[in-house]
């Protein structure tokens, strides 16, 4: 089965440029709210609970200014994503103790575990590249974000 591309998972309304958040919890809630009304989301409160429960287990701040919050929940019927750049670095309890500027949130049903892991791996490989991170931080519109991610994704092997 072909793994969905990052572009397949993002909608313009789920891409946020220059987010201002008071803290990690505020940042996560802003991204979670962007799933409201999206096709495949049955219960936004349950999505929030799943994301926060997963985050409480172990921070999804993976280093280099990147956070990959994610959760699997029966509250959604398909895999969806949201993405944000922040206007300023936000403390996130990351593995490297550095604040984040790039946040990619992934939610999906429990039945999509394999796809979930593949997508997280793809976005992780993309965001490990310093030039891509810098381009994303400099982007000013959701359309720019999509263009940058699609171009970068074309240059990594699919899984």
pLDDT digits (tens, 9 = 90+) for 44-98: 999 999 999 999 999 999 999 999 999 999 999 999 999 999 999 999 999 999 9
66 part of a folded domain: yes
> What is the per-residue burial (b if ≥16 Cβ within 10 Å, else e) of 64-86?
bbbbbbbbbbebbebbbbbbbbb
133 part of a folded domain: yes
Residue 116 annotated to the active site: no
> What is the per-residue burial (b if ≥16 Cβ within 10 Å, else e) of 98-108?
ebbbbbbbbbb
72 part of a folded domain: yes
Residue 75 has which token pair? 């509250």
pTM: 0.92
Number of domains in the chain: 1
1 part of a folded domain: no
Of the residues 70, 101, 116, 133, which is catalytic?
Answer: 70
34 part of a folded domain: yes
136 part of a folded domain: yes
pLDDT digits (tens, 9 = 90+) for 88-107: 999 999 999 999 999 999 99
Q: DSSP letter string over 25-59?
A: HHHHHHHHHTTTT-TTBS-HHHHHHHHHHHHHHS-
Is the distance from CB of 89 to CB of 101 less than 8 angstroms?
Answer: yes
CATH of the domain at 68: 3.40.930.10
Residue ranges making up the domain that contains 112: 6-154
102 part of a folded domain: yes
159 part of a folded domain: no
């Amino acid at each position: 089965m072909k793994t969905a591309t990052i572009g397949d998972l993002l909608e313009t309304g789920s891409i946020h440029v220059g987010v201002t958040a008071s803290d990690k919890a505020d940042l996560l809630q802003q991204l979670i709210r962007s799933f409201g009304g999206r096709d495949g989301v049955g219960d936004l409160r349950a999505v929030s609970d799943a994301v926060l429960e997963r985050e409480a287990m172990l921070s999804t701040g993976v280093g280099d200014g990147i956070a990959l919050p994610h959760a699997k929940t029966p509250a959604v019927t398909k895999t969806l994503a949201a993405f944000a750049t922040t206007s300023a670095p936000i403390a996130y309890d990351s593995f490297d103790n550095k604040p984040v500027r790039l946040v990619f949130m992934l939610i999906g049903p429990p039945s999509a575990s394999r796809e979930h892991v593949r997508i997280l791996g793809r976005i992780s490989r993309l965001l490990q590249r310093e030039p891509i991170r810098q381009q994303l931080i400099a982007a000013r519109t959701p359309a720019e974000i999509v263009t940058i991610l699609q171009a970068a994704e074309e240059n990594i092997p699919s899984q």
